[in-house]
């Protein structure tokens, strides 16, 4: 095959030549148009500040600010024509503004650069996403609290290595995810606070010679303060990386819960029934009810974590200050934000709709010698036996029960005394799963009373 025909194959999309290739690789309007509202908000604040400082006249600033609202209205109504030739959202807005207000539009870019403009826009967008994620987390936490309160007394098996370990309560299991998501909530709030500094006025990289008031624009845009170093301000994407990091950890938590829901809703477990709204049927097997929403949530962590790694790789080798590489930041964050919000909403819906199969949970809670630890603890308390000895005695009794094909509670007192003659009838009081969970009264334990303590604590925190 000749080089010419080869070039035609891979370059067919860019038949117009190098100019078309450069336009395609350089343009970001295809994705950064999502920041239109933030871009216009930043420009309106900048124009107001320029007028307050006497850099623009009041009439010029008023025309610009009104014109920008017109542009925003056109974008929101779908009547705005985006141009790839104009590269990005900033130039698209400015070009349309010029058509609307004429010459004053050319003065808007005084004392700023696209570098600090995009840094400001992106911070505003990410800050909005932090706020959205916070609301999504709160909604999911509240749904879990309802489930926990409803099933504070329901017994179910607790697992280690996915094997029956000790009985726990349904409420305790739900509250475990409340704790995880509570840490996510804390990270969201912490990261939002740290990123709430305004880059606007840093210009290209060195600041500006114009007498601007960065504190005014910062306050107008809801930031706590202006950024303190212009080089860092235009080249920093830590706020985006923190968002992706927070999103990755949160998505991991959602994925763990999704995995449990997949297992719990299976025919082999039947711990929960998921609603039809978050399940699908099989195209050929009428008995099937597939937990598709949970499975898709489980998969979301891959693309969200991938976005985190991708942006880390983009940023790791960049010298100060701005490089065009940084244009690759937004698609990663946009995709992660979309998918995290979708996963949070879907999980909230599943938690609200799912119903626990209480009888199946209780039956499973009593299987697998789940009260063996309670027996060992009873030997320590009632017989004053060292725990290691109690562990050995309990193991012997478990082996006996296995050989007889019964559970610990089904062994006779004579069977138990044959292993250790100080065991009394009182031992049976600890061998029911209900008494097992009630006894776990240590702070943070699985007893219904402790579960209710933690539910109330979270209600107070969120009030």
Q: Exactly one of 2, 5, 161, 403 is catalytic; name it.
A: 161
How many Cβ atoms from other residues are within 10 Å of residue 375's Cβ? 24
Indicate if 172 belongs to the active site: no
Cα 315 to Cα 208: distance, rounded to the nearest angstrom: 25
Indicate if 282 belongs to the active site: yes
Q: Exactly one of 83, 282, 412, 429 is catalytic; name it.
A: 282
Nearest CA among 90, 93, 94, 87 for reference residue 24: 87
- All residues at 6 or more sequence positions from 438 whose CB lies less than 8 Å from its CB, including other chains: 447, 448, 449
Output the six-digit token pair for 16: 């117009």
Nearest CA among 146, 133, 135 for reference residue 351: 146
**Inter-residue contact 230 to 202 (CB < 8 Å):** yes
- Helix axis angle, 89-101 to 114-150, nearest 10°: 110
Cross-strand bridge partners of residue 168: 156
Q: How far is C-alpha 308 from the chain's CA centre?
A: 12
Cα 136 to Cα 133: distance, rounded to the nearest angstrom: 5
Cα 246 to Cα 127: distance, rounded to the nearest angstrom: 13
Sign of the alpha-carbon dihedral angle for 117, 123, 126, 130: negative
**Inter-residue contact 330 to 29 (CB < 8 Å):** no
Burial 116-143 (b: 16+ CB within 10 A, else e): bbbbbbbbbbbbebbeebeebbebbbbb
- In the chain, % helix, strand, coil (3-state, to 5) comes to 70, 5, 25
The three-state secondary structure class of 410 is helix
Cα 191 to Cα 169: distance, rounded to the nearest angstrom: 34
Cross-strand bridge partners of residue 281: 289
Please give the positions annotated as active site.
161, 282
């Amino acid at each position: 095959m000749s080089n010419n025909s080869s070039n035609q194959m891979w370059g067919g999309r860019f038949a117009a030549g190098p100019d078309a290739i450069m336009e395609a690789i350089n343009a970001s309007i295809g994705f950064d148009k999502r920041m239109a509202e933030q871009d216009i908000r930043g420009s309106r604040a900048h124009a107001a500040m320029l007028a307050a400082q006497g850099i623009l006249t009041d009439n010029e600033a008023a025309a610009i600010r009104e014109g920008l609202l017109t542009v925003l209205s056109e974008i929101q109504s779908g009547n705005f024509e985006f141009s790839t030739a104009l590269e990005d959202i900033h130039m698209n807005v400015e070009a349309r503004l010029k058509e609307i207000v004429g010459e004053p539009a050319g003065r808007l870019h005084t004392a700023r650069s696209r570098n600090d403009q995009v840094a400001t826009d992106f911070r505003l967008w990410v800050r909005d996403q932090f706020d959205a994620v916070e609301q999504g987390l709160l909604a999911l936490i509240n749904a879990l609290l309802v489930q926990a309160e409803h099933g504070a007394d329901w017994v179910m098996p607790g697992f280690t290595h996915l094997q029956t370990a000790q009985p726990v309560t349904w409420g305790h299991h739900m509250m475990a995810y409340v704790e995880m998501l509570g840490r996510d909530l804390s990270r969201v709030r912490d990261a939002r606070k740290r990123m709430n500094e305004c880059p606007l006025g840093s210009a290209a990289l060195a600041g500006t010679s114009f007498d601007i008031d960065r504190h005014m624009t910062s306050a107008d845009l809801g930031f706590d303060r202006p950024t303190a170093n212009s080089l860092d301000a235009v080249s920093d994407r830590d706020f985006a990386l923190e968002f992706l990091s927070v999103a990755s950890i949160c998505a991991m938590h959602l994925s763990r819960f999704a995995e449990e829901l997949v297992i719990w809703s299976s025919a082999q477990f039947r711990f929960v029934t998921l609603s039809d709204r978050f399940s699908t049927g099989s195209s050929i097997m009428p008995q099937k009810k597939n937990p598709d929403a949970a499975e898709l949530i489980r998969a979301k962590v891959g693309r969200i974590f991938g976005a985190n790694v991708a942006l880390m790789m983009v940023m790791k080798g960049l010298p100060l200050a701005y490089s065009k590489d940084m244009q690759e930041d937004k698609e990663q964050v946009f995709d992660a934000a979309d998918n995290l919000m979708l996963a949070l909403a879907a999980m909230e819906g599943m938690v609200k709709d799912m119903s626990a199969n209480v009888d199946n949970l209780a039956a499973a809670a009593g299987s697998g010698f789940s009260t063996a630890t309670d027996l060992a603890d009873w030997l320590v308390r009632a017989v004053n036996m060292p725990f290691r000895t109690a562990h050995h005695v309990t193991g012997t009794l478990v082996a006996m029960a296995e050989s007889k094909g019964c559970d610990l509670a089904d062994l006779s007192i004579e069977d138990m005394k044959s292993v250790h003659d100080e065991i009394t009838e009182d031992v049976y009081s600890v061998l029911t799963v209900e008494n097992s969970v009630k006894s776990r009264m240590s702070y943070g334990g699985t007893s219904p009373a402790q579960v209710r303590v933690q539910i109330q604590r979270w209600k107070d925190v969120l009030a």
